[in-house]
Amino acid sequence: MVERPLALRLGILVFDGVMMSSVAAPSDALRVADQLALLRFGASAPTFRSELIHAHGATSVRTSGGMQLSGIVAPERDPDVLLLPGIMHGSAAELLAQCATLDVEIALLRAMHERGVRLAGCCTGSFLLAMSGLLDGRTATTSWWLAAAFRQAFPLVELQADALVVESGSVTTAGGATAVLDFVFRQIASRVDPELAQQTAKFLLVDPERQSQAPYVSAALIEKPRSTLGEKVEKFLAQQMHRPLGVAEIAAQVGTSERTLLRHFQTQYGAGPLAHLQRLRVERAKALLETSRLSLDEIVERCGYSDTASFRKLFKRETHLTPADYRQRFSLRAH
């Protein structure tokens, strides 16, 4: 029997508290790709393998849902890619505290990186990758609701919070939990071909064309570091976003200097106050599209704009969807 050529050996780093979906989803996706490759190429089809790796050599772990996960083996050789799955957490502070206890795992990441193993952080796993220092000076992404906390904790990393997958040299990061599948599809496409990746995505009923986390962002759920200035600014913007606002007025209303205000926004949001205000207006529009039958002109007026065409362009830029497409996809009302 002819041995099938190995296209990818994916190692998945596991530890107590790991999210089961971040382990099972990439493993199952590779199994599906493996079977589809057999159907397409026959006995000489490229094969995909995944293996669970534990930094301490344990043979089982308990997932965040309390399930026992076994099948962990000591690999005979390094994987082609080591994936850091998501970590369940109650807050950004709790997540950072959990990552700080994983010193042996961090040492393993650094050692494998030195040996040329590609690393990938999925969802909150990007926090552990950042804590290792291996993201310093690189671009990266993480789960959209943790963007502000990530920027504050890791200022040396250039965060692209809307991106689903960011590749920066030998290190890759992916957004929220299901974005790990987008990472897997990229691996399949690069190691075999895009057609097999697309077939795998279709089999799993995942949209292979999605390019951004932007349509899924909800500003109300974004975890922000708390500060008196931040709370004053957010309250003022929420109350006054229906009318034109400038940096000078915002600074005066919250009792700070323009320079301090600009520094606050750049640190917390990676953007200036007016760019953040635009995002808040888009968030209000999203909420109205989801929950009301108001016309777009009415929604635009409630969001502080008078030009519907320019707001439609802004909305498309921020969400990667037109207002009509967004309403069709996310409306909470019966169509």
For the chain, list the domains and their CATH numbers.
6-216 (3.40.50.880), 226-330 (1.10.10.60)
Within 8 A by CB and 6+ apart from 195, the residues are none
Q: What is the pLDDT of residue 51?
A: 94
Q: What is the pLDDT of residue 214?
A: 73
Q: What is the pLDDT of residue 235?
A: 84
Residue type, 147: A
CA dihedral 324, 238, 227, 161 (to 10 degrees): 10
Distance between CA atoms of residues 251 and 235, nearest Å: 13
Q: What is the pLDDT of residue 79?
A: 96
Q: Which helix (H) or strand (E) holds 140?
A: strand 139-140
Q: What is the pLDDT along the chain (335 residues), one digit of tens a residue?
A: 568 899 999 999 999 999 999 999 999 999 999 999 999 999 899 999 999 999 998 899 999 888 998 988 887 899 999 999 999 888 888 999 999 999 999 999 999 999 999 999 998 999 999 999 999 999 999 988 888 889 989 999 999 988 899 999 999 999 887 889 999 999 999 999 999 999 999 999 888 677 777 777 766 556 566 667 878 888 888 888 888 888 898 989 888 898 888 888 887 777 788 888 888 888 889 888 988 889 999 999 888 888 899 999 999 988 888 999 989 888 876 44
Q: What is the pLDDT of residue 222?
A: 61
Distance between CA atoms of residues 276 and 71, nearest Å: 46
What's this model's pTM, rounded to 2 decimal places?
0.75
Half-sphere exposure of 53 (CA within 13 A, CB side): 25
b/e 59-92 (16+ beta carbons within 10 angstroms → b):
eebebbeeeebeebeeeeeebbbbbbbbbbbeeb
Distance between CA atoms of residues 176 and 89, nearest Å: 13
